[in-house]
Structure formats: structure tokens, C-alpha cells
Structure 1
């Protein structure tokens, strides 16, 4: 229907980007009830007001998460139930798209958390968390009825205070700077797979090295043919990740200003003309790349690289405002597609929620320095399942742990002074964890990868 040249009443609109809306209109905007099918396969059915989801509605995402509840200004807001694809169910309050207020989360094996929630997190103790996943029950902070056969984590507070041995084991390199297979030359980004194999961006050797568990030397799996711009060459690679779907490796080929994929010695340039520094991939298969020159992070859908991608952090020129970055380095993407960025020259780590217009400071941000509330040229960043942020504090030669919202962090390992002892770093560049919680650090100027064993 139309009134005065404006869509009104019932109608169907299919847009150029593949979205289709079928429902009520008023004053040329979606108003009333209707169904919108998004290009990515998401479907919303429910109320609308001035082109925004409003009132009661149901949303189904491509991964099969389903929300049924109240909406306001296109965000989950009010009361509602979220049924996750992994069979978790949350029923309770929502505020601006985040769990907020009284609510109950239940897990497939029967555990429940009946608590108040703030910003998607339960403000209660360990009895709320399903750590006894063999069927036991948490009975209080840091205690539960797990059987003796259960060897996994028991209650959430136990995970908050993980500690690591302060003297590392050298697991790759450490034989001075060099290009032999038992040597590294300024190791940069690292990736650890489920077999504890370490993939290393061996920067000055212009190669990617695969170092298997307990091996005495590595194996060149990409580059290693001299510095150059042929597709079988690399030029100062800064980061590497493994695509678990097809077992290819994706490389930030910084000196060649490209992101390149290697699979069984076959190469494909994915993205060109980008000063790529850090790489990440989320659970949906989207690829994220930080651009050092443009001071931004972009997202690409896997397999679709013939476009400029979508800016998900920064992109507002270089600066220190909350919507800006200054030489973004390594990045991490969590389960909610929030992007964590090491904002090197601002000496801080920023968190950009999905679709956010600006970020929040979650570590550092108090200028250059070595106090516990400061960072010095932060590099690698990893966030654990509890939202704790681990940062390679490059200039302070230490690994820091920050809890979001806290004024200062704590030193996990290192921090005395630069050095080559096993409890020291000389420029920690990147970090990662294996599935047992052991901590791995790329020690840049010591030309080695160190492993700090978790204390159980």
C-alpha cells in the first residue's frame, strides 16, 4: 500500500543486498508487525517501530541461536528467552542486547545459574557455573561434588587465579639468532593447535615454521625461499593462523602488504594492499585483519575477498579517542564477535563490541609506563573463557592479566627486567595457550618460544 507517495499498510520489499521484508508499513518505514529475512540467513518476526525492532519478536540466527522476547530500538531489551545452539537456555532480563537483571541460565547437563546479571555476566559466585560437567554439582565457591574421575576445572573461582611456573621451558629456537631449522630470527605471531604444534611467523627469516611437540627443530611450511614478493616467498610475516576447516595456513605477509593462504605448497593471495599486522578468525569463519597504516581492523567473510571488507574497529584516522586507534597490532575475537585490539602507540588494549561505533579501554590507557595500570607498546592479546585479558607487554618485558573494568592488571610472568634467563623476556611479542592452559610466549629479541607450565 501507498499513502502520499510513502509505503503504508501491507507490503513486501526486497533490497539490493538480498534482504526481504514482508509486513506492515507506515510513513515509509517498517511499523507494526512484519518479518525480515537478512542476507546472512537470519530471520526476525515481530514488532517494528520506525524501522527498528520494537515490542515482542523472535530472532533466529544462522548458527541456530533463537531469541523470543522483548525488543527496543532493535536490541533485546526487557524480558526474553535465548536458546543457544549449544543447548544453553537463558530466561530473564535484557538491557541493550546484553543479559541484565534477574535471570536463569541452564546447561544441557542440568546445571543452573539463578542470579542477577550485569553486562552478560552473572554477579554471583562459583555455584552458578557448570564446571562439573560430568554431572556433579557446585556446592559453594571453589567446591563441588565432582567425582574423583573428573580431572577438569571444578568451580569458576578456581579458574580466576590460574598461576604458571615462573621459569619457562624453551620449546622452539633459543639457539641464538639464525636461519637453521633449530633457530629463529625475531619470532613474531604464534598459533598453537590441539596437538600442541606451534606455528611461528619467523619474521626476519621470511618464513613460517611448524614446530611439533617436543621437536628439536622446526619445519618450514611457507616461505623460506628468500625475501621477496613471489607467491612462494614472504617478506617479514607478522602473524599466522590455521584454518581448522581446510587445514590451510593464513599469513599476514606484512612486507608484501598482503594476506596470503598456503595449502599443501599452493598459494593464494586473499587480500592485497593492506599493511596487515594481526590476524584472527571467529567461530563463524570470518577473517579479521588489523591494518597498521589505516589504523583499523576489517572483517571478511571467508572465501569472499573481492571487496574491502567491513570495518569493525577504528577507521577514523590515527588518534587516541575511543573511536580511534594508533598502530593496531595483534587482535583477538571472542564468542560474541567482540574484537580486542592491541593499540600499540596508545599503550592500551581496546574492546570493540559487534557493530559498535567506538571501543572501550580494557587494559592500560594510562600512558606509557611500567606501573600496574600501564602498558608499554602492547602486542599479543588473548581473552580466556572468563573474559580475562592476557597481554604481551612488550616494552615492560612481562605478560599481564587484566579483568575488564579493573583499574590495574597483574603480572603473570616476567616483569623483573629484560634478559635472557628463563624467567625473563627481551620483548615478548605474542602469546597463546594450549588446551591444558600452558602459556606460550614469542620472545622476540631472544629468538625463542617459551612455555610456562600451568600450576594445577
Structure 2
């Protein structure tokens, strides 16, 4: 079912225009990085439209505006972190603030450790460290609160979506270049790689809640093949298609047009950011078992 957007592309509060990232909070509200509308829009659970929490429809570099939003994250204090991509910075909006603060990227675009280059994934941990997926710099960097420079924690070909397992600080990364989901330990050493040869340009993924921590189940937006799939980190090739039609794009309820992100809500249902259809689709999962849908 469609739970956000789904109409024609546009800038209305009930519309989206090529959304590229999303975050789902504990109340099942959905925050959406609305790329061409230069904004983050929030849809409360069961709402028929959203409301703007960050940005506007103008492409500028002022403290209250953005120029193409490519990634976002909401921390435990409801602060919103946004990749303001064409301004080469990460902006932080404190709860209910009208203006953003530049917390990363004060020195412009580049590959130095006080710069970022083309961020397409963000993660903020409970200690408020910010992890940045730098697509053009082929790296993931970690920035401590208030730091002027970051630390390279993994080198990855064209990284996009990222996730940190805070029980051990292991890092998971979707690599657009390697067509894989990669798992690194805290020393930046690659432990697992899944999907090589079966995925094609995966944009996003999510670790399934309650899965075995020694062999996590990963739900993947296999973007260019127009499908959502399931894989286990210890099994690099076995793949289960759970939604979509391989290599066939469409706008019917069982079809996608470049799905870019997948996230779980508080009930264990799966949300899919169906980017080129300008909508978020919700798949109800029976008994939290990804093998059975209704």
C-alpha cells in the first residue's frame, strides 16, 4: 500500500519529486529526503500529506535552505542531519529549529579530512558520532561531535547507504560500484561481501530486526533490477525475491521504479522508497517473517 506520495511528481505537501532517502521514527512517522524539492518532509503515521521540517523549494546555500538533499538521519533527540549535497556540507537542524548549522563540510568539497565529497548516506550513533558515506571519495568517514576533521573508517567503491551495529561498531555499506553489501569490523577490515553477481546497483538496505547477529538477514533495494530481495551475510550468493518484478519497472502496487531505500517500522513491516514513482510503499509482514506476505 502507498503510505506517502504516490501522486504525480510535484511540490505539494501530498507530493514528492524523486525522493532518495528516508528515516522511520519510533512513532512510525516517515522523514523523506525529497531531492528535487530541496526539502525534508515528514509524514505522520496514516497522514494523507506531509509537512516540511527542513528546507524549501529553492536551491540556495542559506542556513535555512538546501541544494539537493541526498541523505538524512534523525538522532535520539530528534535532531535532523541532512546531506546538502551541492553545498558540500552536512547540516544539523535541532528539534523545531528554523535554521540549520553546518557540522561537517565547512571547508567545501574535496578529499581532505576536513572536507566531504558527494554524500549519499548518513548514520548518527547514540554518542552523536556522524558517519558519512562519501560517494565520490570512495570512503566512509566518522566525525566526532564538534570535530573539524573526520576519520576514514572504510574504503569502499561508490558507497551509498550505511548502517552501524552499535553493539560492536561494525559497519555495513551498500557499494554501488561493487554491486554488493559489505560488512567491515571496527578496524576497517572487510569481513563479508554479499550480492556480487546477483545484485545490480543496490542503493539501500536494512538489517532485519531480530535476525541472528552472527549471520544477519539483510533486506536490499536492488535498485536497477526493480526488486526487493533478502540475503544472509554468511551466504554471498543465495537471494530471495520478496517484492517487485526483476528488470521490469512499473507503478502498479506490486511494481517499483528504482527503489532506493528500505526501512522497518515499529511493527516489523517493510517500507520501500519507490523513488521514480515518487512514493513510499508499505509491505505488511505476517508474524515478522519475511517469507510470508499478505
> What TM-score, normalized to structure 1?
0.57
After TM superposition, give the deviation of residue 304 of structure 1 in Å: 2.1
1:270 to 103, 110, 113: 103
> CA contact under 8 A between 1:363 and 1:409: conserved in structure 2?
no
The C-alpha deviation readout for 1:32-76, integer Å capped at 9, x for no partner, is: xxxxxxxxxxxxxxxxxxxxxxxxxxxxxxxxxxxxxxxxxxxxx
Structure 1 residues 364-375: aligned runs within 5 Å: 364-366=195-197, 374-375=198-199
Residue 415 (structure 1) aligned with residue 245 (structure 2): yes
Residue 177 (structure 1) aligned with residue 1 (structure 2): no
> What TM-score, normalized to structure 2?
0.87
Residue 217 (structure 1) aligned with residue 49 (structure 2): yes
2:69 to 224, 232, 237: 237
The C-alpha deviation readout for 1:63-113, integer Å capped at 9, x for no partner, is: xxxxxxxxxxxxxxxxxxxxxxxxxxxxxxxxxxxxxxxxxxxxxxxxxxx
3-state SS, counterpart of residue 297 of structure 1: strand
Structure 1 residues 49-448: aligned runs within 5 Å: 169-244=1-76, 246-263=77-94, 264-272=97-105, 273=109, 274=116, 275-301=118-144, 303-307=145-149, 309-314=150-155, 325-334=156-165, 335-356=167-188, 358-366=189-197, 374-384=198-208, 385-386=210-211, 387-406=216-235, 407-416=237-246, 417-448=248-279
> CA contact under 8 A between 1:362 and 1:402: conserved in structure 2?
no
Counterpart-to-counterpart distance in 1, 2:233 and 2:14: 39
> CA contact under 8 A between 1:351 and 1:359: conserved in structure 2?
yes
Higher relative contact order (CA 8 A, sep 6+): 2
> CA contact under 8 A between 1:432 and 1:439: conserved in structure 2?
yes
After TM superposition, give the deviation of residue 298 of structure 1 in Å: 0.6
Task: Name the one with the larger strand percent.
Answer: 1
CA RMSD of aligned residues (A): 1.3
3-state SS, counterpart of residue 255 of structure 1: helix
3-state SS, counterpart of residue 311 of structure 1: strand
The C-alpha deviation readout for 1:258-287, integer Å capped at 9, x for no partner, is: 110112213100111322110012344321
User: Which residues of structure 1 form unaligned runs of 5+?
Assistant: 1-168, 315-324, 367-373
> CA contact under 8 A between 1:190 and 1:201: conserved in structure 2?
yes
Corresponding residue number in structure 1 for 2:291? none
Look at both structures and tell me which one has the larger radius of gyration over its CA atoms. 1
Counterpart-to-counterpart distance in 1, 2:204 and 2:157: 15
